[in-house]
Structure formats: structure tokens, C-alpha cells
Amino acid sequence: MIVAIDGPAGSGKGTISKKLAEYFNLSYLDTGILYRAVALQMLTEGINEKDCRSAKKVARQVSITSIDHSGIRTRAVSDLASKIATISSVRKELLTRQRRFAQNPDPDKDGAILDGRDIGTVVCPNADFKLFIMAELEIRAKRRWKELLQSDPTVIYSEVLEEMRSRDERDTNRKDAPLVVTSDAMVIDTSNKSIDVSFNEAKNWILSRRF
Ligand code: DC
């Protein structure tokens, strides 16, 4: 069984995906970490964000199992990840890895669940279940701001809001694999719901269509 989860940053899709992975015994991949790994490597090596050839080379070297998760959640990495995600050659490199993951879950698992921006449209268009997790921009920005405050008490909410707004705009308006809601996806708005309520909605929807 393959489950595709899409949605903007801060919607809660990661947490919901992890809980669904546990409940349905699925291998889980947060596909955003691939784009983040490319961005972090480019920042470390001082590669210009417009240097598409170098970005593609970096993407070619990314391996899901060896991504170092430390340092990939910073604001600079988030911003650059969204920028290099507009480069088609980068997307193409990362696409093969994501599809391989979806098609080869761990042998002790019953399938795979992937979350990102283009899972239901490009990575796994034939997924058994597609969910689109969303929330109002201000609410998502507030969630991210609170998260960032834990490591940096000087973070300003309005800046986080603006960063999220431009990332949303880039992710939804790019030519290649933009973030869109497909007609076959179950949409869950987490704006005014707890994670447990949203998770139960997703879980029950899958259960109701599973057999
Ligand atoms: O999910 P995230 O916030 O970690 O993703 C970081 C960026 O990576 C996001 O702004 C756009 C890009 N991305 C993408 O284009 N396609 C995906 N499937 C996942 C992430």
C-alpha cells in the first residue's frame, strides 16, 4: 500500500505521516529532506543558488540513507531548498530516489508513505491513498515560529510569516511539479484541530476505503 501526503510547510503533514506510518506499518520518507540536503550542501560549499549545473551535481550525490539531519531545519536551508526545488534537473535526480523508496519498502513493512509537495501528482501518481494536509498561513507561521523560538529566542514572527508566504508562493507557482490539490485527494484542514483529531480523520478515511 502506498500513501501520498502533500501540503505546505507547517501544515502538520510530517507528524500526521509519521503517525500513519506507525499505525499502518509503513516505511516513511519525508521527501523535503532531500531538497534540504541539497540546499545545505550548496550553502556549505558556497555554491550560488542560480548555478543549476552544480545544484544538479549535488542532487546526484544525495543518498536517502546517509542524509545528516543536523542543520537541515534552519531558515536559510528552508529558503534555499524551496529555490533549488524549482530547478527541473534537480527534481529529476531526486525523483528517482523517491520512486525507488516508494517501490521498495522495508521487507517487514506493508508499504510506504511519503510526504512532500508533489507526491500524489508526480512521485506516486498511482498511490492507493492521497491526502492533502493544509492550514491557514498565519497558523502555520505561528507553529513554525514557536518551533524556531526553542533554539533562538530572538526570532521575529512577522519575518517567519513572510518567509513562509514566499516559500508557499514559490512551491505553488513553479512550473515543474507545483504543490496542487488533486481531485482524488482527501483534504484535511488542520488550522483549528489537534494533531490527534487530524490523524484520526486521515486514518479513518484510509480505513473506510481500504477494503
Ligand atoms: O517539506 P519541507 O518544508 O521540508 O520542504 C522543503 C522544500 O523542499 C519545500 O519548500 C519545497 C521542496 N520540496 C519539493 O519541492 N517537493 C517535495 N516533494 C518536497 C519538498
What are 43-62's pLDDT values in tens digits?
Answer: 999 999 999 999 999 999 99
Looking up residue 67, the CATH number of its domain turns out to be: 3.40.50.300
Distance 196 CA to ligand 1 centre (A): 24
The reported pLDDT for the residue numbered 211 is 66
Domain that holds residue 16: 2-210
Which atom of ligand 1 lies nearest, measured to the CA of 123? 18
Averaged pLDDT of the chain: 97
Q: Is the pLDDT of residue 116 over 70?
A: yes
Total domains in the chain come to 1
Distance 41 CA to ligand 1 centre (A): 16
- Exposed, middle or buried, 48 (CB in 10 Å: 0-12/13-18/19+)? exposed
Mean pLDDT, residues 84-89: 98
- Cell numbers placing 113: 508513505
Residue 40 pLDDT grade (very low, low, confident, very high; cuts 50, 70, 90): very high
The reported pLDDT for the residue numbered 127 is 98
CA distance 45 to 203: 42
Mean pLDDT, residues 147-167: 96
- Cell numbers placing 193: 484541530
The set of protein residues with a Cβ atom below 6 angstroms from ligand 1 is 9, 31-32, 35-36, 78, 81-82, 85, 116-119, 167, 171
Which atom of ligand 1 lies nearest, measured to the CA of 115? 18
DSSP structure string for 31-44: THHHHHHHHHHHHH
- Cell numbers placing 205: 478515511
Of the chain, the end-to-end C-alpha distance in Å amounts to: 12
Distance 81 CA to ligand 1 centre (A): 7
Give the three-state DSSP class for 28: strand
